Amino acid sequence: MGAYFASLNPHALWNAAPGGLAQGLIWGIMALGVYLTFRVLNFADMTCDGSFALGGATAVMLILAGWSPEAVLLMSFVTGVAAGLITGILHTVLGIPDILAGILTQISLYSINLNIMGKANQAVPVNQVKVPFTSNIQYLGQTIALTLIVDIVIIGIFYWFLGTELGSAIRSTGINENMSRAQGISTRRMKVIALAVSNGLIALSGGILTEYQGFADVKMGQGAIVIGLAAVIIGEVLAEALVGKRLNFILRLGFTVFGAIVYYFVYVFVLWLKFPADDMKLLTAIVVAIFLAVPYLKQMRTNSFRSLARRTAKDFAGVKTAAPVENGLKEKAVGGKEEKSC
């Protein structure tokens, strides 16, 4: 045990922090996409695992084809939009339930991504091409600043877009479909638009991560939905705790990105504790479960039958509490009869 703690190097953790921040900011873009479907549209979209890797595959292959590393990110966004359109059409035109529609697109994207890349992973020729989102330690500060700007711009666009007529219609579709149709909104169209934009952002995030890590892998999107949800939920829990009632929409979006950063810091920290990388998915699940459970348990502490029983036992000390009635069934039956006779 002592040897284990001695082997942990605080310096290494400090050195790993900027990388965690950069990755958190990149995944934050993805989390914003998840927020749009999961929270605004109320649609559990499973496409994202596939569209994230699709964005990466698009980026790496176009860079290899000689495109500029900036233009390829635009194409990552475009291919993501296409993936979202497919899920939208599967759901609205072909009537496939939301989760299943997303899973179908996701699984088909696995094959499509393999076809795009020709093999399971492809490296970005970082020595020949200067990518804007590099993880090169020399330029890491620039990468972090640039990613932060991208996050802020996207949050700004989100804020504006969801305040427009179209954005309002998307929000109302997520809240009350019947009412939306009664007000002349094509709820199908709204779902397709939101899915397209969401997956566009997710693929953009995948493209940026590919430039950052220097390669794309067909499995890079595996569990992306969970990380996105983790960011959204961690962000919500922290926002609730830190700003409470003053929480507005901009802050909500900001905290979603912050949630992704927190997630990545936890990730980096656990890696630093020398957890095997294979256990990271398990760790992700545990982190999400904790953040989901904490608000619930906190609420249950004051608002549950058990807590009420505790309080009444204290307040009415000496008064006999009801014991579970024996032969409850029999008594009930008698009671029923009496009711009928009167």
Partner 1 sequence: MLNVEHVYKTFNPGTINEKRALIDVNLQLEDGDFCTVIGGNGAGKSTIMNAIAGVWPVDSGRITIDGNDVSGLSEYKRAPFLGRVFQAPMMGTAGDMQIDENLALAARRGQKRGLRWGVTAKERDEYREILRKLDLGLEDRLTAKVGLLSGGQRQALTLIMATMKKPRILLLDEHTAALDPKTAAKVLAATDRIVNENKLTTLMVTHNMRDAIAHGNRLIMMSDGDIIFDVRGEEKQRLQVTDLLEKFEAAGGEVSDRMALS
Per CB under 8 A, the segment of 14-22, 142-150, 173-181, 308-316 that binds partner 1 is 173-181
Residue 308 neighbours by CB under 8 Å, 6+ apart: none
Residue 36 beta carbon to partner 1: minimum distance, rounded to whole angstroms: 15
Q: Interface with partner 1 includes 222 (CB under 8 A)?
A: no
Q: Which of 35, 37, 14 is nearest to 258 (CA)?
A: 35
Q: How far is CA 118 from CA 58, 111, 114, 236, in A?
A: 12, 10, 6, 40
Q: Interface with partner 1 includes 244 (CB under 8 A)?
A: no
Residue 188 beta carbon to partner 1: minimum distance, rounded to whole angstroms: 9
Q: Interface with partner 1 includes 82 (CB under 8 A)?
A: no
Q: Which of 64, 18, 83, 16 is nearest to 210 (CA)?
A: 64
Among 68, 121, 176, 222, binds partner 1 (CB under 8 A): 176
DSSP designation for 37: I
Among 186, 222, 270, 292, binds partner 1 (CB under 8 A): 186
Residue 258 beta carbon to partner 1: minimum distance, rounded to whole angstroms: 22
The token pair at 21 is: 């921040």
Residue 10 beta carbon to partner 1: minimum distance, rounded to whole angstroms: 45
121: buried, middle or exposed (CB in 10 Å: 19+, 13-18, 0-12)?
middle
Phi/psi class of residue 66: alpha, beta or left (left: φ > 0; alpha: ψ in -120 to 50)?
Answer: left
Are 252 and 12 in contact, with CB atoms under 8 Å apart? no
| Euclidean distance between CA atoms 26 and 203, whole angstroms | 11
Among 169, 209, 230, 261, binds partner 1 (CB under 8 A): 169
Among 8, 12, 100, 175, binds partner 1 (CB under 8 A): 175
Among 111, 183, 304, 307, binds partner 1 (CB under 8 A): 183
Q: Interface with partner 1 includes 200 (CB under 8 A)?
A: no
Are 48 and 225 in contact, with CB atoms under 8 Å apart? yes
Q: Interface with partner 1 includes 178 (CB under 8 A)?
A: yes
Alpha helices in 176-220 (DSSP H): 177-182, 187-213
> Of 25-44, which residues contact partner 1 (CB under 8 A)?
none
Of 117 and 192, which CB lies nearer to partner 1 in the complex structure? Answer: 192
Q: Interface with partner 1 includes 248 (CB under 8 A)?
A: no
Q: Interface with partner 1 includes 166 (CB under 8 A)?
A: yes
The partner residues of 121 in beta bridges, in order of sequence, read: 217
Q: Interface with partner 1 includes 161 (CB under 8 A)?
A: yes
Q: Interface with partner 1 includes 181 (CB under 8 A)?
A: yes
Q: What is the total count of residues that contact partner 1 (CB under 8 A)?
A: 22
Of 52 and 255, which CB lies nearer to partner 1 in the complex structure? Answer: 255
Half-sphere exposure of 316 (CA within 13 A, CB side): 10
Site string for partner 1, 102-141 (x = CB under 8 A): ----------------------------------------
Of 144 and 171, which CB lies nearer to partner 1 in the complex structure? Answer: 171
User: Residue 320: enclosing H or E segment and its boundaries?
Assistant: none
Q: Interface with partner 1 includes 226 (CB under 8 A)?
A: no
User: Residue 216: enclosing H or E segment and its boundaries?
Assistant: strand 215-217
DSSP designation for 303: S
Q: If you search the block for the tokens 């500029």, which residue do you land on? A: 68
Q: Which residues bind partner 1 (CB under 8 A)?
A: 161, 163-169, 171-172, 175-176, 178-187
